[in-house]
Structure 1
Amino acid sequence: MVYMRSALNKAPEVVGVLFGLVLFYFWLIFIDKIKMLFFSEAVLVDGNKIIKAQYWGQIDQWLVAGLILFFLIFGHYSLCSKNMSRIEKNRDIIGMKSALIGFVLWLFITIISFLFNITVTYSFNIVGGYITIIFVYFLMRKSYI
């Protein structure tokens, strides 16, 4: 019975994370639409007109993968903040802020490396971005404690 009550208490948290995943999916659609609207070109291939968006390598990779942590934490916070303690709320707020700050910092690095024609592998790009987010998270947590 205690296990059942505990599982029911966790249900809003799981729904919050799933809500964050849905928001992340909308972010991906938004990024795709922006690229197709402003950064695309029409190419003729065998008499067929194909609209193709520009590919920016590591910038595109980070735009797609970089904000998933933010959206997961945001979904959790938005649906569960009424029932959370102050410590849990602060942890989620610090997580969201550090995810955004780390995302922007790593985005600048990817833009600079792209402009200087420095090719970065996908795994290094994503791991480097998440390490940046974790570093910012620990810096922010240290300053809040």
Structure 2
Amino acid sequence: MEDTTSVLNKTQEVVGVLFGVVLFYSWLIFISDIKMLFFSETMFVNGNEMTKAQYWGQVDQWLGAGLILFFLIFGHYLLYSKNMSSIEKSRDIIGMKSALIGFILWLLIAIITFLSKITIPYSLNIAGGYIIIISIYFLMRKNLYEISDFGQ
């Protein structure tokens, strides 16, 4: 009986993460649609009409890659939270918060550098954003453990 429950729990965890992947791809489609709707231009090339969205360098890169951690954790939390311990729930919540805060902070940096005509290479852009997210995660997690130690 316990093996069946364990397998069901693991399956539910995996399905939650896969659901997060689906949510992430939905985000990419949403961002693409918004860009095409509000930030596109139509041009004619050899008599053919083409619609092209503006390219914003590191801003586009970060909009595309910056929220994958959030969506993976969110999908996991959404579908598996009923079976989680309070510590696991706290970790997922801290993961989601740190991913959103880090995403927004790095997005601001990407926007400022783009408007200042400073180009950040793709790998440095993505690495910088994820370093911010991971740093925030560990700071928030450290504070959680300090608070829980204080309560004992």
TM-score range, shorter chain: over 0.9
Q: In the alignment, residue 39 of structure 1 is paired with which amino acid? A: F
CA distance in 2, matches of 1:26, 1:38: 18
**Residue equivalent to 2:50:** 50
CA distance in 2, matches of 1:41, 1:30: 18
**TM-score scaled by length of structure 2:** 0.91
CA distance in 1, matches of 2:9, 2:19: 17
Q: CA deviation at 1:3?
A: 6.6
Q: CA deviation at 1:114?
A: 0.3
**Residue equivalent to 1:9:** 9
Aligned length: 145
**Residue equivalent to 1:137:** 137
Question: SS of 1:56's equivalent?
Answer: coil
Question: SS of 1:108's equivalent?
Answer: helix
Q: CA deviation at 1:139?
A: 1.1
Q: CA deviation at 1:54?
A: 0.0
> How large is the RMSD of aligned CA atoms in angstroms?
1.4
CA offsets, 1:62-110, max 9 Å, x none?
0000000000000000000011000000000000000000000000010
Is 2:26 aligned against 1:26? yes
**Residue equivalent to 1:84:** 84
CA offsets, 1:20-61, max 9 Å, x none?
000001000000000000000001111111000000000000
* Structure 1 runs not aligned, ≥5 long: none
Q: CA deviation at 1:9?
A: 2.6
Contact 2:9 2:83 in 1 (8 A): no
Contact 2:43 2:50 in 1 (8 A): yes
Q: What does 1:61-76 align with in structure 2 at a 5 Å threshold? A: 61-76=61-76
Moved segments of 4+, more than 3 Å: 1-8
**TM-score scaled by length of structure 1:** 0.95
* Structure 2 runs not aligned, ≥5 long: 146-152
Question: SS of 2:50's equivalent?
Answer: strand
Question: SS of 1:120's equivalent?
Answer: coil
